[in-house]
Amino acid sequence: MPNTYTQIHIQFVIAVKLREALIHQTFKERLHEYITGIVRNHGHKMIAINSMPDHLHLFVGFRPEQSISDLMRIVKGDSSEWINKEKFTKGKFRWQEGYGAFSYSRSQIPNVAEYIANQEEHHKKTSFLEEYKNFLEKFEVDYDVKYIFKPLE
């Protein structure tokens, strides 16, 4: 749309179903490339992407022609289908329902990108659940603990 100017930067956080440790080093980089392709093909800019075995962070320069929920539906659906087709995991791979989406100003881009790049180091001290609750509290998001990403039982 002419004369429409936006600057939207969103960090998305998605978890593997039941937070199982299914994102292995053997295909992690290929998964990042695949998801980056999805994001770019929908007109957005991938600023940073990284994952741990049980969750993934994407930092996206977001274009408002598409809804956040639509992009997440496509990213999660297409990537899980690809993981299953490539047989990267023994059983069926699925993402947990829902996602986190947190917006940042332009001045915060370097810090957020660095945070995502340093996930391995960060998670030596902080669990994913602690990290996610910290995001929700920092961004003052109302939440119910029973709906936060479910762990293995």
CATH of the domain at 103: 3.30.70.1290
- The verdict on residue 63 lying in a domain is yes
Query: Is residue 116 situated within a structural domain?
Result: yes
Collapsing DSSP to helix, strand or coil, 19 comes out as: helix
**17 pLDDT more than 60:** yes
Average pLDDT over residues 106-119: 98
Residue 23 belongs to some domain of the structure: yes
Residue 153 lies in a domain: no
Between CA 68 and CA 12 the distance in angstroms is: 9
Q: What CA–CA distance (Å, rounded) separates 104 from 24?
A: 29
How far is Cα 26 from Cα 35, in angstroms, rounded to an integer? 16
Residue 37 has pLDDT above 90, yes or no: yes
pLDDT for 148 equals 79
Where residue 4 falls among pLDDT bands split at 50, 70, 90?
Answer: confident
Q: By CB neighbour count within 10 A (0-12 exposed, 13-18 middle, 19+ buried), where does 109 fall?
A: middle
Secondary structure letter of residue 35 according to DSSP: H
pLDDT, one tens digit per residue, over 78-93 is 999 999 999 999 999 9
Domain assignment present for residue 65? The answer is: yes
CB neighbours (10 Å) of residue 43? Answer: 12
Q: What percent of the chain stands above pLDDT 90?
A: 83
Interval 103-128 mean pLDDT = 95
* Residue 124: domain span: 8-147
> What's the total number of domains in the chain?
1
Q: Residue 68's pLDDT is what? A: 98
Q: What is the pTM of this model?
A: 0.91
Residue 3 in domain: no
**Is residue 151 predicted with pLDDT exceeding 70?**
no
Residue 86: count of CB within 10 angstroms of its CB: 13
Coil, helix or strand at residue 61: strand
119 lies in some domain? yes
Residues found in the chain: 153
Domain contains 97: yes
